Amino acid sequence: MALTCAAALAAALVVGGCSSSKPSTSSSSTSSSSGSSSPGAAPSTSDQLQNDYQQVIGNVLPSVVQITTASGLGSGIVYDDKGDIVTNAHVVGTATTFDVTLANSTTTLPATLVGSYPDSDLAVVKLSNPPSGLRPAVFADSGKVEVGQITLAMGSPLGLSSSVTEGIVSATGRTVSEPSGGGSPGATIGNMVQTSAAINPGNSGGALVNLSSQVIGINTLAAVDQETNGSAAPGIGFAIPSATITNIADQLIKSGTVTNSGRAALGITARTYFDSNFKPSGAVIVSVTAGGPAASAGLQSGDVITQLGSTQITTLSSLTTALASLTPGSKVTVTYQRAGQTKTADVTLGTLSATS
């Protein structure tokens, strides 16, 4: 199973629009049957759930926008009443200017880049002339998100603005590596929320919402089943949790950069190590940051990391994935090879520095 970012290219939108007929304007016909319910029946539980859905949509959808660049489009969430909008870094790509369309309007508004942090696949853009009446979203405590909670995914899949899909929280705490290319930074992101709500191209940057009308995450990517020639794997999507969103967005809005990523780091640069049979068998340290966590624990250039805690390390990617599931300040045992000998070091992890 692979993963695909949910940002839509303009060309894909054209194809998507041409592959289906124009939206139907006919209403569904209902025929009488002997099984029809009698008049005056008491409202069912499903009626209440439907009312809850509609209330959440009415509360949150005005906070979800469409973001268009020269190369494609995605979604975003109104972060404050000053015109700041949070989205995915892969939605903005290398662009610095954007057209933003609010949920209740067909008029595009100009916006500029505030800052982007590809390591967490988050970015903030700002409306050049924010209109009055902006509806900032309310962000939940993502630490309280639980499996089984109902979720609604809001955004502009395939350019269909203000679309809503529903599902549940399928899992929490997922560490997911994005594919690189097509505007995606190829980041490895920890603590993601997995949902069964459909996430499609164009949904990236949109809101994953609970039934309390709170954003629990930003829709980011969906799984792809390689066994079916790369078609979407139904019901497997991922969202960056709200705690990460607010942490990164607040820093970008304040200074345009990120100094506290909330992501764990060893304080090294490394590459995949290949053994004598040319098989990947670890991550070899290329350089060590002076005074950093690895240096303080005695790790050196040329050491080959083969295990982080209980996780086997065979490639640089596996090391990055393992670190993404940990937090700064936590202690972990690093197993490594030096001059043919197996050694261990207890490392107190630091914080990944900003790369943009």
User: Rounded to whole angstroms, how far apart are CA atoms 59 and 138?
Assistant: 10
**121 has catalytic annotation:** yes
Partner residues linked to 2 by β-bridges: 224
What 3-state DSSP class applies to 4? Answer: strand
- Annotated catalytic residue, options 196, 204, 213, 318: 204
User: Rounded to whole angstroms, how far apart are CA atoms 105 and 131?
Assistant: 11
**310 has catalytic annotation:** no
What 3-state DSSP class applies to 45? Answer: helix
Nearest to 187 by CA among 323, 351, 11, 9: 323
What is each CA distance from 63 to 58, 78, 199, 201, in whole angstroms? 10, 5, 18, 19
User: Which residues fall within 8 angstroms of residue 41, CB to CB, at 6 or more apart?
Assistant: none
What is the residue whose two structure tokens read 């990236």? 204
Amino acid sitting at position 83: G
- Annotated catalytic residue, options 90, 120, 242, 281: 90
Number of H-type helices and E-type strands within the chain: 6, 24
Burial 247-283 (b: 16+ CB within 10 A, else e): bbbbbbbeeeebeebbbbbbbbebebbeeeeeeebbb
**84 has catalytic annotation:** no
User: Which residues fall within 8 angstroms of residue 272, CB to CB, at 6 or more apart?
Assistant: 280, 282, 283, 284, 314, 315, 316, 317
With beta carbons less than 8 A apart as the criterion, state whether 321 and 263 touch: no
User: Rounded to whole angstroms, how far apart are CA atoms 100 and 164?
Assistant: 19
With beta carbons less than 8 A apart as the criterion, state whether 233 and 120 touch: no
Nearest to 72 by CA among 8, 139, 165: 8
- Annotated catalytic residue, options 121, 142, 161, 303: 121
The residues annotated with a catalytic role in the active site are: 90, 121, 204
